[in-house]
Amino acid sequence: MTLTLIFVILIACPLEFTGAKWTYNGPDGEHNWSSNYPFCGGAFQSPIDFQTQLLRYDPNLPPIQVQNYNLSTNEQLTLSNNGHSVQLSLPSQMYISSFPQRYSAAQLHFHWGSSNLLTGSEHTVNGKRFAGEMHIVHFNSDKYPNISMAVDKHDGLAVLGVFIEIGEFNPAFDKFFKYMNGIKYRDQKIQVAAFNIHALLPARLDEYYRYDGSLTTPPCYPSVLWTVFRRPVTISRKQFMALATALYASNAQESTTVPLHGNYRKPQITDNRVVLVSFKDGLYGILSAESPFQRKQVIQKLLVGDLADLADEGLYQLLPKLGSQPGKDKKLKKSKKEGHWSQATRKEQWSKNKVQSNTGYSSSVGKNTPTPWYMGAFDTAKGICFVSLEENVMHQLDKYHAKGLMVEALREVVFPELNLRSYLHCRSDLDLQTIRKLVQGRSRDEAAELEQSLAEAMLKKMRRQINQHRNPNMKTTIGHPQATVPKDFNSALTYHRPQRAEWED
């Protein structure tokens, strides 16, 4: 069999681990998901903990608007138990109208705790876990014909997340909760009358958290634009118990029944992401999001600009978490070596990278030159297909008998572009790994000076944290105590990407 034929088979057919068994606990639990689903150990995973220091206020975030959510009772919806959750099918005429592109509804499902542990939301707020969480899943119907085609694309999905607390009885949820006995076992389905889905949402649709993330179940593609509402909805304790005690993750034919509860994934690492919020009240001194234009200027400087000037003046755009404002620290001195390019040199370098894109940016590309990796972040028409990327990486590693490196390889390949895309949309800070990849090929002296300047800036930040740790009454720029700083802060200056054991928790 030729190499070309093997490659065609890999692209056309599902991978050998597609559809592998997974659970939330036990040998097939989330700590082993990445063995069969490598993206589960990769970048930009969900859920996350909405910690106050991650939040950035964005006054341009509009209230969420949905259309055609009030369904006719003459319609029928499919209520099912898929062994992992309760799922309710939704018609695609329902859609979110407050996004630049149309995202049509596909289904909603739930995550919850157990009768002994009344906490089961996936996202948390400063460590607080709610009783449950509802996800209303939408796909980008402007670009993709259905959810199956959209699920592995970087802009494929948008999910509305709703926290659930135990409190007053909720008649909207009872429209289908009362039918739980009809789907007690895995793969059971029943038809229920449609109703007003809008009634499941909280009253305030103008207050929410927004960030780039992933599916919270295998295959964990980082394809989700998350919108999680700040205000929870309530259901009664009896309604919660209908979820927590009446359902099984096993089939009716199995001799041993497996309860379906505790179906939530633990918080994932943030990967330099920030969380945009549409509200400011109650968040003392919260930072505001920078403009996309400012961020594009930073990237332009990294690609073809004067790195020495950027090292002196742009560090707080690169690393906004440093806390100080530009100009408050003494400017770093330029190296005595030639630490900048002449105007002619910059023009020559820019001309080498010249090609038109719909963003006004350029890239190094010709008839025989591949498009640079970072152009995908500027060209919004270019998409990332995660499943084909996964297949191609696996095929490459297989030649070297190195399948065990799949998670690490995917993370190294996928993370920089995801980080850059998210940075340009103000939903991430710029990662040092991405910065280093952007300045590859630049003057060695310039790149070294930028690296040194970043290290010095990080050292200043850590020293401030140590001083604040010694005086816990001091506040950060967002009004909360700083986290504990490692004793050996000098060793922390070396950039550290979490190892597999760290990010699989």
* pLDDT higher at 206 or 437: 206
Instruction: Give mean pLDDT, residues 447-475.
Output: 66
* pLDDT higher at 385 or 447: 385
Q: Which residues have C-beta within 8 Å of that of residue 206, sequence separation ≥ 6? A: 63, 64, 278, 279
**Amino acid 357: pLDDT:** 41
Is residue 165 very low, low, confident or very high in pLDDT (cuts 50, 70, 90)?
A: very high
Q: Which residues have C-beta within 8 Å of that of residue 265, sequence separation ≥ 6? A: 24, 30, 46, 47, 122, 216, 217
Is residue 313 very low, low, confident or very high in pLDDT (cuts 50, 70, 90)?
A: low
| Residue of 84, 198, 469, 480 marked catalytic | 84
**Amino acid 199: pLDDT:** 97
Beta partners for 458?
none
The secondary structure of residue 407, as a DSSP letter, is H
pLDDT higher than threshold 90 for residue 255: no
pLDDT higher than threshold 90 for residue 453: no
**Amino acid 326: pLDDT:** 38
Query: Which percentage of the chain shows pLDDT scores above 70?
Result: 73
Listed range (190-204, 364-378, 471-485) with the worst mean pLDDT: 471-485
CB 90 within 8 A of CB 108: yes
**Amino acid 481: pLDDT:** 33
How many whole angstroms separate alpha carbon 45 and alpha carbon 221? 8
Report the run of H or E that residue 457 belongs to, with start and end: helix 444-470
3-state percent breakdown (helix, strand, coil) of the chain, nearest 5: 35, 15, 50
pLDDT higher than threshold 60 for residue 72: yes
* pLDDT higher at 259 or 464: 259
Q: What is the pLDDT of residues 265-283, one digit of tens each?
A: 999 999 999 999 999 877 7
Listed range (80-84, 226-230, 248-252, 315-319) with the worst mean pLDDT: 315-319
How many whole angstroms separate alpha carbon 226 and alpha carbon 93? 20
**Amino acid 286: pLDDT:** 74
Is residue 318 very low, low, confident or very high in pLDDT (cuts 50, 70, 90)?
A: low
pLDDT higher than threshold 70 for residue 387: yes
Is residue 319 very low, low, confident or very high in pLDDT (cuts 50, 70, 90)?
A: low
Write down all domains in the chain, each with its CATH number in brackets.
44-277 (3.10.200.10), 292-495 (no CATH)
How many whole angstroms separate alpha carbon 363 and alpha carbon 350? 9
**Amino acid 4: pLDDT:** 34
Query: Apex CA 106: angle with CA 11 and CA 70, to 5°?
Result: 165
* pLDDT higher at 412 or 266: 266
Is residue 479 very low, low, confident or very high in pLDDT (cuts 50, 70, 90)?
A: very low
Listed range (166-180, 207-221, 435-449) with the worst mean pLDDT: 435-449
The answer to pTM > 0.85 is no
Q: What is the pLDDT of residues 482-496, one digit of tens each?
A: 333 343 433 333 333
- The question of whether 84 is a catalytic residue gets the answer yes
Query: Which percentage of the chain shows pLDDT scores above 90?
Result: 52
pLDDT higher than threshold 70 for residue 112: yes
